[in-house]
Chain A
Amino acid sequence: MNPPVSVTTRRLHSPVFPVSMLVLVLLPLLLLPLAAVFIFAFRGGAVAFLAALKAPDAQFALRFSIVMAFATAAVNAVIGTFAAYVLSKYSFRGKRPLNIVVNLPVAIPTVVVGTSLLLLWGPIGLLGRLLEPLGLQPMFTPAGVLLAHLFVTFPYMLGAVKPLLDELETTYEEAAYTIGASRWQTFWHVILPALRGGIFSGTLLTFAHSLGEFGATVMVSGNLRLRTQTAPLYIFAQFEAGNIAGANAVAAVLAVLSFVIFFFLLRYAVRPTRAS
């Protein structure tokens, strides 16, 4: 760990000093906290770790989070791609403001998202008040969690797909039209294949964020054990209740899942797509 001063003086551009400095800085910021999760998770041995994971509410929380992440990714893959298509291929009045609105969820604190969903759909909310007599209540149900996750992750799909659409040569489309393809056929056979990489990475990003979403979920879910408690909420609830082993086991699993997803993202999605 000693910075090799002699090397730096001899070769001005030696990477050793800056790299070791960077690692030193990153150690407490990124690396050690992550290591702590795993060290703590396995402190009681693998048996205790598995026992903590096997708790019915831990199992439910993990499964529920995974299902929610799939549902969010599936819905936003469709709506997000459609939004990207419209915003990229059409010009219309109000396009700029619309562009800003669809990207807004990046900037809004997730707790605010949760609050606004409650104030819209909740039992005392603007629309929720009208739904209540009908026996419909999206908040504090899985539907509420899905609504929150769709909101929070909306821009990811757009961000991954729209740049590809913007750069896509119009000549391919025009060629398709000239041989008599309809708008839908052109989209399905020409545009969509070119977007594959973008859709894949956008979906994975959406999935990963949904898996870890906390701020909005804690507001809209009611934090109901075995009904709406997602894995991050489980971690928080167990930690607060002093069950650090239980919290940590689930945290370790979430961390591994996000590593795998991130690995896929790097390995498969960044490769040049066929269009370029």
Chain B
Amino acid sequence: MVFKRKALLRRVRALAPILFLGVLLLYGLWPWLPLPGRPPQPQTVVFYGFSILGEVMNKGIFPAFQKEWAARTGQRVEFISSFSGSGTVRNQLIMGVPAHLALLSLELDAQQLAQARVIPPESWRKLPHQGVVNRTPFVILVRQGNTRGVRDFADLTRPGVGLVHPDPLTSGGANWAIVAEYGAGTRQNGGRPEAGRQLLAGIWANVVAQAGSARAGRTQFENGFGDALITYEQELLYDLGRGKLKGEIIYPHSTIQSEHTLVVVGRNVGPRDRQVVEAFRDFLWSEQAQKIFVEYGYRSVDEGLNATNPHFGKISDLFSIADFGGWTKAKKEIVDGIWKKQVLAKLKR
């Protein structure tokens, strides 16, 4: 009896890894096992977006469209999504990820996609509002109490103020922020480019951490890096509305309003999904979707809806990329010409 039990125990021990691996495999394969009673494969929309879009799309827009589509056609639609820095999304699209639609932080990324022949040139301009789905101005986030006394971009140039800034190589937000900083400098000094360059240089001398995307920068700031962060207003309003914002929003006197461009990657859309992809594209400009964007802190392309969010801050001198001749010109002259070649070179970064 004793011997038998020992033998049994030995058997169990020998079988333990096999049992464990078997359970693990079953768990892994479970959703793909062809069990009876499982619903058929749904239609899919593959959506890529820049970093801060995660919440509004996953919690707001996707469920709203799924409901609407089910009501209209009785079919289930599944969203597959990925969110990272706008430049990262652009590079992934060039490398061939199977995205149907991508919402980019700046039109420049769309232009570069056209250059790489991922999408036809200017194709997004045929969409409503020239492809712009929503907007948001650039603001400064400081730590609770604002002990550094930051009131405007110029205050960020003071010695001892540490700044978290996303990296313009992969972050669309960083490109917007650079034009915001340069633009604020010139516009508050009678349009002198030299004043813009000086403000940019002063701010960048204080950058203590660079992040791959606006969202990654926010995470760095929350993990304790720096005294201030330059980012999208929306990124902060969403948490402000839920009472979860750690820090204070500072509205600069002059700042830029970003415009986020949608591109449809036609070559990735198969005949099976075309109808649903196009319906979703149009849905983004519907009043329902625009209201959701406003609720999550984006400023709608439909100005009339913007009164519904009480948290939108007032900005005295709000400018746009068109004031600097559009992204092709601004990238060449401001981001590459001034920021990279003059400011960074001088800081020896």
Q: Which residues of A are interface residues toward B (Cβ below 8 A)?
A: 60, 62-67, 70, 118, 122-124, 128, 137, 139-140, 204, 222-227, 229, 237, 239-242, 257, 260, 264, 268
Contact = CB atoms under 8 A, between A and B. Distances in A.
Contacts of A223: 82, 84, 92
Contact of B219 (A139, A222, A242): A242
Given A66-B27, A223-B82, A224-B46, A124 B96 contact: yes
Interface string B15-30: 0110011001101111
Interface residues of B, number: 34
A124 B95 contact: yes
A239 B212 CA distance: 13
B202 interface: no
B31 interface: yes
Interface string B96-114: 1110000000000000000
B54 interface: yes
A264 B20 contact: yes
Nearest to A200: B17
A242 B82 contact: no
27 contacts: A60-B31, A62-B28, A63-B28, A63-B29, A66-B25, A66-B27, A67-B28, A67-B29, A139-B95, A140-B96, A222-B97, A223-B84, A223-B92, A224-B80, A224-B97, A225-B80, A225-B81, A229-B82, A237-B84, A239-B219, A240-B212, A241-B51, A241-B219, A242-B219, A260-B20, A264-B16, A264-B17
Contacts of A226: 78, 80-81
B124 interface: no
Contacts of B96: 122-124, 128, 137, 139-140
Contacts of B94: 124
Contact of B28 (A66, A128, A239, A242): A66
A140 B54 CA distance: 20
Given A70-B25, A222-B92, 8 more contacts: A123-B95, A139-B95, A139-B96, A222-B98, A223-B82, A224-B82, A224-B98, A257-B24
A222 B81 CA distance: 11
A165 to B, nearest CB: 23
Contacts of B30: 63
Nearest to B47: A225
B260 interface: no
A60 B79 CA distance: 14
Interface string B218-229: 110010000000
Contact of A70 (B28, B46, B83, B219): B28
Where chain A touches its partner, the secondary structure class is helix
A122 B95 contact: yes
Interface in B131-189: none
A64 B216 CA distance: 25
Contacts of A240: 212-213, 215-216, 219
Contacts of B31: 60, 63
Contact of B98 (A65, A128, A140, A241): A140
Contact of A242 (B21, B25, B27, B222): B222
A257 B17 CA distance: 12
A245 to B, nearest CB: 13
A118 B95 contact: yes
Interface string B28-47: 11110000000000000010
B301 to A, nearest CB: 26
Contacts of A242: 215, 218-219, 222
A64 B32 CA distance: 10
B27 A63 contact: yes
10 interchain residue pairs of minimum CB distance: A123-B96, A66-B28, A222-B97, A67-B28, A264-B17, A242-B219, A63-B28, A140-B97, A240-B216, A226-B80
B82 A222 contact: yes
A128 B82 CA distance: 23
Contacts of B92: 222-223
Contacts of A241: 51, 54, 83, 215, 219
Contacts of A67: 25, 28-29
